[in-house]
Every structure is written in structure tokens, then in C-alpha cells.
Structure 1
């Protein structure tokens, strides 16, 4: 390994053309020389080895005599999956533990090893299960993996998945978020030591984490779920639970096999986390303050929930936790389709949720599904048009993906009865192509498939490259794409002097939104700001804010009439470490100029102050721009 690295370093020093093809030839040459059929050298092992020597073996590192420019070029050459941080931040996805769900969607998977709607074969789920759903261990594992791939992890966006966040007890929410911050606040040495102690603790509890063992332990109960004998909540009560927690106590009482704690342990299912401890709000806020100056700062915190659980109180709680973006499963705006699919919500309630999220400054990330039970391609097209044109909605981001059939979903009965069929590929691609082309420039289509294994899908799209198929069809159509993800500058960067600052104004039901964007001559986007100018007369039509006695007084602040809100500032390009310039467009003043222009536009519109829904790790940055702490927000006077 060392010999191969030294050859790469020498080639870089001599100015040779060292690219992926050159590297592939070097790796094959070294492996052929081994003569034993083993792969002695691999790209995925070269970088972790190099980084370990650089950080842990100063004498050997000094002997290699690596110049700074060579070091940067080598890391860039060996970096795996460069798009992982192309959006400007390192994204870490974690999963909450299995928990009863208050919804009953017909298309939703019911894997008893996972939170509702997730499947144990999904990559993030596999990682969570290996970590016993311990948030500290999940963050530690992802940091290590991203670092080994050569990614900068100074700025982290935390994405918390697990079905419906607001269904979890508030004490669990505080503890879970606190552990995420605790892991990021720790030094590398402290994090490694604490993670080792936690793994040892979980192991002493006799809690397995190997997939085969877990699958065998859950097989009987999962078979009963798949057969329709048990709901997910009933099964949860049997396997893990206190009946009073499952939300369907009367149904659970009919199942005498609800387990005592000892019998649950006998099943070998580890998902009841006895390591949880109560964490007070004050203790969580202390972890927040520590993160403001930590080496790894939280620049975004995302949770997912349902529209019917978006309330004044839940918004205040989310803000106190440090949340900046909320994913909500809308799936459709057609009330008949929502009812047929067991959603138990209406488009009017969805509109109310969107208005509340904007009122509190959250970015909204909408889940929208094609091919639901009862849907048609024509109806899907009309449904999506309403989402992106009706002022009651107009999302910031969309997960636009097709419904597919998995064994544990109630949709299997509809499929077998001939009441639901998956769209043909031509129908599906046709709908998605039209949706992409219709999407406005302030909306980002984040993904088009769920990470569900093809082996779990009984019917429906199994192609993991569906987005590439859609993009190829869009390109063939020859029409311009305006949605954000297709325009991101990604890893290639842009010349700052060639960027132009544009503003797109659009009206929602309760705000005037100004989408400020840095664009290249070719229309690529290098950064943007979402400035929200509330129509306070419309905002006041939202339900009155109830008192929130469970929150500390300093966490209950809310922007008042006459104040505007920055909901998001984002600069794209390769991640630059904190306090450095980097190779892309980060740390070159683009974000600062966006904020100053937002202040100018808000002042011109007659607003007296500008709030920002800053992430915990960006508070210091906004203070440097003249913002002052104001409860869960930061505020800058505009007079």
C-alpha cells in the first residue's frame, strides 16, 4: 500500500497526468505482481491508509515529504463518490428506533425491525441496525465512512428519518437530537472512545445486530404482518412494547403473546434502547451552544412527519430542537386519492401545514407519489401541476417517486384483487418527464426513487437508475429544465466573476417569496437565498398559537408582524473546510452578498427587521453579518 502511494505522490510531484485511468492501471499492476490472486491494493483502501498515516504517524508522514498541493491533488484523486458533498455540506442520515405509527397508509411497508415505512434492506436502515439505532454510534460511523472516502465533514446536515417524528415522545426527541450533537461536538479521540464504550454496552445487553440473526428473530412476527394477521402497531406491542405506547391498546389486548421484558429479550430483537436517558431542554441547549464553536458544526437539521401533525406546538418544539427543514409526506392533493390510500388528511389540512411551516421559517420538503391506488397518469399530471402552481403549496423541495408494492403493505390485497396496477415504464417515465419540465426554478426535485431493494419490490419500478432514464428523456425532449438539482454547479465549481445575481418573486397563500440565485451564463446555479415576506393579514388566519408550557421561555419566540424571514441560504460546490477558501465557490462571499441583498429587498418592502432560521452551527456566521440572537431565531434590524 505504501509503495503504491509513494508512486502516486512522485507522479503528482513530477506533473504527470494522474487521473482515474492512470490510477486504475497502477492498481491492476500492483495486484498482478502479488501472484496470489488477492487484491493487495484498492482505491477504496488507499485513501483511508493515507489519511491514517497523515494523522497518526508523523514520522512516516514527514518522510513521505508531501507538498500541500500534492496532498490536495492526491485526496481529490482518491476521493470516493464526490457528489456526496457536492451540495456544499456533508449529509449524515440517521434513523430513529421502531415506534408505533398513528397513520395507516395502504402503500406503506411494515417491517417490524424498522420504523414504520422503512425496510431493513435500505442502506440507511442497515447502518442504523448495525448501530442498534443508537444516534451517537450512527453519527460516528458515518463520519468515519465519509472521512475515509476523502470528504470534508466540518459542515454537517443531519437528516433524521424514521417515519413520523412527531409520534415519538418529546423526551426521546430531546435525547436523540442531543446525542447527535454530542457526537459532533466531541474530538476525534473522544468520539472513538465513547463509541467503543457504547458498542461494548450494547453487546453486554445481549443485543444482536447481525442481519441474519435479526431476520431469523423477527421471521415469525413478520410473517403474520405480511399475512394481514397483525398490524404494525399490534406487532410492535407484541415484540417491543408496553401496550399503552402502541396507540391501539384495545387491539393489542386481543393478543396474549405480548411479551414481558425477559421474553422480548429472548426474541433477540434489540430495538428497545435501554441506553436512553432523559435530557432536559437546558442540557440540549448547552449542547447546541457547544456546537457553535465545534470542529464539526450542524448547518442543517431535518426531520420528517405528516401534515396532520404540523401544529403550532410541534413547530415550536422543532425549532427548539434546532430543526431547520421539515419533510412531510403529502403524497397527493386529491382528497379522493388520499382517502382511498388511508391518508386520513385533506388538501386543506396540507395547505394549513405548509402555511405553518412558512410562518415559522422552515424549509419544506414534500414527498409526492405517482401511481397511488386509484391514480391515473393523467390525474397524476394534474395533481403535480396543482402542487407547483397553487399558492397554498409551492414546495421548496420534492421527493417525487412512484408507488411500488412490497409484501408487508396493505396494497398487496388491492393488487391481487386487480384494483391497483403499476404503471408501465412508458407511462411512469412520461409522467415524471412532464413533472420535471413543469417544476419551477425555486423547487428542487431531490430524488425519484426510494432506496428499496429490488428483491423487496413485488410490482412496480425496480430500476435504480430511474432518474437517469427520466433525465435522458428530458434531454431528448429538448426543453429547458428549471428545477434546482439539474442546475447545481456540483463539483465543477464556477468562476465567481461570471456569476449574476437574479431574483425570482412568487406569491404563496401567506407570503411573498423572493428566490435570490447566483447563476452562471449557462443558467447553472451556484447559490441561493429564500427570502420570505409574510402577508401578516393572511398569516393571522392560521390557527392561534397555543401556549407551549413544556418549552423554556427563551425557546418560544416567534417573528412578529413587520418582520421578514430568511428561510434558507445555500452555496453549492465542493465543501470547503471551516475558515478556508477551498476549490469551489464556498467561502468566497457569495452567501454574505445574498444576505445583504435580502436585507435590501426586505427593507425596500417596508419590513422593520429580518429574521433568519439559522442552524445551530451557523449562528456565529450570522452574528458576523449583524444578526443578534432572538429566541430560536436570529434577527437583524433593517432601520
Structure 2
């Protein structure tokens, strides 16, 4: 199909009221059929749309852009995510469940989608980011707010020089300019066209100490994913994990006290576990103060040929759960999840042909959600409630937005999950995480002494470009949440002064380079690697 025909289809679509995706596809097929051509790709139509808008032959249409967008879920949460892998490196650990494929990062397989993209780009961070930016733009996604996620095994085991180079090259790709130092790249990214709004790194609990905390902040990391697998010493020992529960608890406390968001990787059906033990695991993670993750990835144990666990299974020393048993565990785990936790993944993205034992159902999350809906039950996790996933919930969408504050204890501090949600709390629009450490006057990071911490702020809904207004994003919800967090910090400070305890002098935000400008507009300034603001006597 030639460009003139594509532009004619877009012109016709721009004049038509499109009811839904099905109606859109029907119209495209009809218009293409008039040229005796099959339906064109959405990326081809999107290119024609952009050319017509640029030449001012049609007006921009958010509705049409939504239908032209491919895989809308990629930016449904308000940002675009880019996942990159580090180069293969030998791992000093010998976990029995871990794949050990040659020339691959430890625990990853060469036929996993993210690995295939990294391999195509020869593990180069700059090329990986550039490739994904092009793909996202081609498929209709805004790329001005980017969340970077770096995977590939234990990040902390890489040399410090490699770490700094890697993150700098990630930012160079976003900035469109090569910097001399990481610090320069971070500074440039504050006003870049593709801004890093979050940097996630994955490591192990036994690598986290005060020195590692400082290194993570120097790199600009805002979220840490740690593989805890199962918080029981006997199961960790049987899997030869190399650490125990003590290290999980200590790492969690150190990370939270420094403002990081924490994602736990958990593994149901490990050797030595049972459905009852797995269910107790999630009760403990959400019920005990020493754990309390912000996000969870649930990776049911999958047996692959390159893992030692495969030999155990062949000998009869390990047997995975049946699909029915696993599904029951996951359904119950979802129902246990509190409103301030996000279940990021329910299965790992391992192709079914590589799995010798364990779950092979690729749409397990959708099946479980469907079954819960049939039982008139619903998961309360953040992902299930965010507004982008609630388009069919007309009842809750029609309700006024309500400010809610959930207070809970976690790792030697008090957490406040402050959110805007529908009156019935079924739909989540925005939230902020405020933490007040029990003791912070002697914090090992000087900039966090006597500080309340903003660990995260997020407004959901379709990704809206910087400088533009949307239905949910850029409507002031974030500013209102920040004001409420500052007020609560001030109230807590007055209580402490009255009780003759150490005061709270400021609010510090763990902020990626790309969001520093946002906080500056709210009165914050760069303070070490954080953005901070002095608290007034009134607490406002």
C-alpha cells in the first residue's frame, strides 16, 4: 500500500467517530479493501498520521492515536519501560534452580525476548536503549519519560568501573549526546528529550551493605530488585542459595532507610516447599514488619535442562506442583496482597519449549484474574487497581476521587501509602510513599539525617508527554500528594518535638535525574544524590 492510500485511510478515520478497537479494525479493513489491499500495519498508519499532523492537513487526535498505538500496555502505567541486560559474567553462586547456559548472563536463557534483544545489540547498553526507543516510537508510544530496568544477574558483582560506564551509556542514549562522566550524563538528563524517571538494578540480599547503598545512589538507582526466593532458611539452604533470612531482613532495612523502592523476587514450588509453605510465605511477607516489599515478582520454579534441578527431577528428588495446585497457590497469594504492593509479574518470561517441569501456561495471570472475577473476588494489588486496567469498571470510574492514607510499620520505620482512588478503592489514580525512619539523626548518608523520605510518587493513566495535559496525568494530583506527605511529615515532627525525640528537619526524595526539574518546581533542591526541602515549623 502506498503513502497516498495510507494518508487517505487516516483522513477518513480522523473524520469518523471510532467506538472501540474492534470498530477501528473493521474500518481499517473496509478502507483498505476499497484499494483491494489487506489491512496495513498500525506502524504504517501511524507514520502517515504523523506526516498529516505535521503538515497540518488533519488535527491531532488523542483518540485516534490510542487506536494506532501497538501494545498500549507498554505505557499504560504512565511511563515507557526499557529493559536492558548486562554482559555475561561468571557467578560465584550455585543455586540449584538457576539456568547456566553458556555465554549468557547467569539465570537467563538465550531464547527469552529481552535476552534476544540484548544479544542482537551485543550487550551494549547504548544500542539496547536506542533500539527500544525507536521501537516504542514506531508503535505510537511517547518516550519522554523512561523507566530503565537493568537485569542480567547480580549487578553488584560487576566491577564498579563497568557499572559507572554502563549507566552512563544508558543515559547517553537517552540524552542523544556522549558525556565524559556519569555525573555529566545525569546533569544533561535533567532536561533531555528522553528523561530517566527511574532506574532499577537487580542484586542479591547478601551484597547489600552501607557501601553498596552509597554506590547504588551514586549511579542514580531508585529501585532495587532482590531475589529472596523464599524467606525460610531450610528452603534457601536446600537450594544452595548462599544466604539466609537474616541477610534478606538486613538488606530490606538498609534499602528502605535510604529511600529505595524494593521488589522481591519470590519462587513458589522450590525444593522442600509445599503449597501450604508457599502460602505462608506471602502471609509472612505482607504481615511481618521485617519484610513488607513494595513490589513482588512471582516466579514459580521452572525446571530447565541447564539447571541442576533438572537432574534432581530426573532422579525423582524433585516434583513440580500440578497446574491446579500452582494456580490455587497463586490465586490465594493475590488475594493476600495489600493495596500498597504491586505484583509486577506472575510468571517468568521463559519460552514453554525450554521448560522441562513446572508451569507452561503463558497467560496464567489472565486466567487467574478471570477465575477470581467469576468467584466475585478481586486482587487489591496496585497493578490490578491502576486506572489503565480498569476501563470496564464503569461503576467505580464514575465515583469521585478520594484521598486515602494507609499507615503501616516496616523495617524500623513508619510507612504512609497516600493515594487518590475511587471511593470504593477499586481504582487507583496516583500515590506517594512517605517513610519516616524511627532513627535518622545518625544516618550513614549525611543528606538523610533528620529527614522524612519520599520513596516513590506515581500518577497512572495513559502516558502524557511533558508539557501536555491529560485526563489523569499532569492534572495536579502529584502536587497534592506531595503537599499531603509534607503535611504528615510536619505533624510527625511536632509529635517528636513534644516527646523530646530527634526532629524531622526536611523531606528528602529519592529521585532519578530526569525528574529533578519536577521537584525543583515544588521547592526542592539537589542535596547529595537526593532532592530535599526544609520543613517549615507548621509542617507545610
- TM-score, normalized by length of structure 2? 0.91
Which of 448, 457, 461 pairs up with 1:559? 448
Q: Secondary structure at the match of 1:99?
A: coil
Corresponding residue for residue 613 of structure 1: 510
SS of structure 1 residue aligned to 2:267: strand
Contact 1:97 1:162 in 2 (8 A): yes
CA distance in 1, matches of 2:204, 2:195: 28
Aligned to 1:258: none
Match of 2:419 in 1: 517
Q: Secondary structure at the match of 1:399?
A: strand
Deviation at 1:39, TM superposition (A): 4.8
Alpha-carbon distance in 1 for matches of 2:122, 2:224: 25
Whether 1:508 and 2:374 are equivalent positions in the alignment is no
3-state DSSP of counterpart to 2:198: strand
Contact 1:322 1:616 in 2 (8 A): yes
Aligned to 2:41: 42
Could you tell me whether the CA contact under 8 Å between 1:491 and 1:574 is conserved in 2? no
CA distance in 2, matches of 1:638, 1:104: 49
Contact 1:30 1:41 in 2 (8 A): no
Partner of 1:68: 60
What SS is found at the alignment partner of 1:405? coil
Separation of aligned partners in 2, 1:34 and 1:598? 58
In the alignment, which residue of structure 1 is the partner of 2:279? 381
Residue 21 (structure 1) shift? 3.1
The one-character-per-residue Cα deviations of 1:45-76 (angstroms, maximum 9, x if unpaired) are 3224544x369xx6xx35xx11133xx33322
8 Å contact from structure 2 (residues 52, 58) kept in 1:
no
Identify the residue that residue 573 of structure 1 maps to in structure 2. Answer: 461
1:362: Cα distance to partner?
A: 0.3
C-alpha displacement of 1:479: 3.4
| 1:54–1:362 Cα change, 3 Å | farther
What is the aligned partner in structure 2 of residue 218 from structure 1? Answer: none
Q: Does 1:143 align with 2:40?
A: no
1:622 equivalent among 492, 495, 519: 519
The CA distance in 1 between the partners of 2:347 and 2:477, in whole Å, is 32
What's the C-alpha RMSD, in Å, of the aligned pairs? 2.3
Structure 1 residue aligned with 2:501: none
Is 1:414 matched up with 2:312?
A: yes
Question: Any conservation in 1 of the 2:190–2:517 contact (CA below 8 Å)?
Answer: yes
* Alpha-carbon distance in structure 1 between the residues aligned to 2:524 and 2:399: 28
Residue 326 of structure 1 and its aligned partner are, at CA, apart by 0.2
Matched residue SS, 1:66: coil
The answer (yes or no) to whether the contact 2:210–2:254 under 8 Å persists in 1 is: yes
Aligned equivalents of 2:52, 2:175: Cα separation in 1 = 22
Please list, as runs of the form range in 1=range in 2, the aligned pairs for 1:92-103 lying within 5 A after superposition. 92-103=82-93
Which of 346, 367, 373 lines up with 1:475 in the alignment? Answer: 373
| 1:535 and 2:438 matched | yes
Q: For 2:448, what is the secondary structure of its paired residue?
A: coil
Deviations 1:428-478, CA, capped at 9 Å, x for gaps: 011111111111111111111111001110111011111112212322333
Distance 2:377 2:15 in 1: 46
- The within-5 A match list for 1:96-115 is 96-115=86-105
Q: Which secondary structure state, in structure 2, belongs to the residue aligned with residue 100 of structure 1? A: coil
Q: Out of 580, 590, 596, which is 2:483 matched to? A: 596
Residue matched to 2:498: none
The alpha carbon displacement at 1:17 in A equals: 3.4
Displacement of 1:166 in angstroms is 0.3
Cα deviation digits, residues 281-339 of structure 1 (max 9, x gap): xx111110000011111000000000000111111111011100000000000100000
8 A contact 1:368–1:399 mirrored in 2: yes
Take 1:525 and 1:40, find their aligned partners in 2: how far apart are those partners?
Answer: 36
Q: Kindly tell me: are residues 478 and 156 of structure 1, through their superposed partners in 2, closer, same or farther at Cα, counting changes over 3 Å?
A: same
**Contact kept in structure 1, 2:9 and 2:28, CA below 8 Å:** no
Matched, 1:14 2:22: no
Q: Aligned pair in 2 of structure 1 residues 476, 175: CA closer, same or farther (>3 Å)?
A: same
Equivalent residue of 1:132, what SS? coil
Which residues in structure 2 correspond to 1:113-262 (within 5 Å)?
Answer: 113-186=103-176
- The corresponding residue for 2:500 is none
| DSSP 3-state at the match of 1:25 | helix
SS of match in other structure, 2:148: strand
Q: Deviations over 1:90-118 (max 9, x none)?
A: 10011111011122111111122321011
CA contact (8 A) 1:158 1:301 kept: yes
In the other structure, the counterpart of 1:298 is: 196
Write out aligned runs for 1:435-446 (5 A).
435-446=333-344
Aligned to 2:496: none
The answer to whether the Cα contact below 8 Å between 2:14 and 2:64 also exists between their aligned partners in 1 is no
Match of 1:252 in 2: none
Q: Could you tell me how far 1:629 is from its partner in structure 2? A: 1.1
TM-score scaled by structure 1? 0.78
State the SS of the aligned residue for 1:459. coil
Aligned ranges for residues 355-370 of structure 1 at < 5 Å? Answer: 355-370=253-268
The answer to whether the Cα contact below 8 Å between 1:531 and 1:598 also exists between their aligned partners in 2 is yes
CA distance in 2, matches of 1:481, 1:634: 34
